Amino acid sequence: MQNRESVTSVVKFTRNKDDKKTYRSLSAELTKVFSLEEIKAEVQWWKVFKNYIRGRSGVLGRTYYFEKMCGLCLANPKEQKWLIKFRNVGLRRLNVFIINATKKEALSKDIKLLTWCSLSLLHFFYSKTQNRIDDCSCFRMSKLEQAKDLFRNTMYLILPEKQNEVVKQTIRYMTMTGQWNSQDYDLFVFQELLTMITKTEFLIAKVIKQTETSQKEMKIKEAFDVSCTLSTLLEQTFWDRYLYNHLLHNCYNTLLKLFILGSNPVPSSFTLENAKFKVVIKTCIRNFISNIKDNKGLVSVMDSMAKCLQDDTIGYEDKVEITEIIAYTAQKHSCKYYRESMTADLLDFLLINLNLPDKGLIMLAHKIFHLFLDRHSNLRFFAEPVYFFKGRSDFVINYDFNVEDAQFFKNFSADFFRSIHKNMLLFYNKYELVTYYSTLCIVLIEIPDPVITINILHLIITAQNDVIKLSNEIPMTSKAHIHAIIASLISLICVIHKEEVRALEKNVEEVNKYSVAGHHTTEYHDQLYFLEEEILYALQRCWLTRRMTTYR
Task: Give the range among 48-52, 79-83, 311-315, 473-477 with minimum mean pLDDT.
Answer: 48-52
Residue 549 binned pLDDT confidence (cut-offs 50, 70, 90): very low
Query: Rg of the Cα trace of the chain?
Result: 36
- Checking if the pLDDT of 78 tops 80, the result is no
Phi, psi of 32 (to 5 degrees): -65, -35
- Cα–Cα nearest to 459, from 360, 536, 537: 536
**How do the domains of the chain map onto residue ranges?**
199-289, 294-354, 406-546
Beta-carbon contacts of 101 under 8 Å, excluding residues fewer than 6 positions away, are: 157
Crossing angle for the helix pair 359-373 and 344-354, to the nearest 10 degrees: 140
Burial of 279 (0-12, 13-18, 19+ CB in 10 A): middle
DSSP-H helix ranges across 53-136: 59-74, 80-100, 103-108, 111-131
Q: What percent of the chain has pLDDT over 90?
A: 17
CA distance 152 to 146: 10
Residue 112 binned pLDDT confidence (cut-offs 50, 70, 90): confident
Residue 536 binned pLDDT confidence (cut-offs 50, 70, 90): low
pLDDT in tens, 356-386: 888 989 999 999 999 998 888 888 888 888 8
Buried b (16+ CB within 10 A) or exposed e, 456-495: bbebbbebbeebeeeeeebeeebbbbbbbbbbbbbbbbbb
Per-residue confidence (pLDDT) for residue 533, from 0 to 100: 52
CA distance 515 to 135: 74
Provide mean pLDDT across the span 400-409: 85
Per-residue confidence (pLDDT) for residue 540, from 0 to 100: 53
Crossing angle for the helix pair 59-74 and 45-52, to the nearest 10 degrees: 140
- CA-to-CA separations, 408 to 338, 341, 404, 541, in angstroms, rounded: 7, 11, 6, 27
How many other CB atoms are there within 10 angstroms of residue 114's CB atom? 27
Phi, psi of 5 (to 5 degrees): -65, -40
Classify 149 as helix, strand or coil.
helix
Give the angle 183-69-1 at the CA atoms, nearest 5°.
135
pLDDT in tens, 151-190: 998 998 888 888 889 999 999 999 988 888 888 888 899 9
Are 514 and 469 in contact by the 8 Å Cβ rule? The answer is no
DSSP-H helix ranges across 309-449: 316-332, 338-341, 344-354, 359-373, 403-426, 430-446
Beta-carbon contacts of 532 under 8 Å, excluding residues fewer than 6 positions away, are: 457, 458, 461
- Checking if the pLDDT of 40 tops 60, the result is no
Beta-carbon contacts of 271 under 8 Å, excluding residues fewer than 6 positions away, are: none
pTM: 0.76
Task: Give the range among 142-156, 277-291, 404-418, 517-531 with minimum mean pLDDT.
Answer: 517-531
Highest mean pLDDT among 16-25, 74-83, 178-187: 178-187
Q: Tell me the CB-side half-sphere exposure of residue 385, using CA atoms within 13 A.
A: 26
Residue 417 binned pLDDT confidence (cut-offs 50, 70, 90): very high
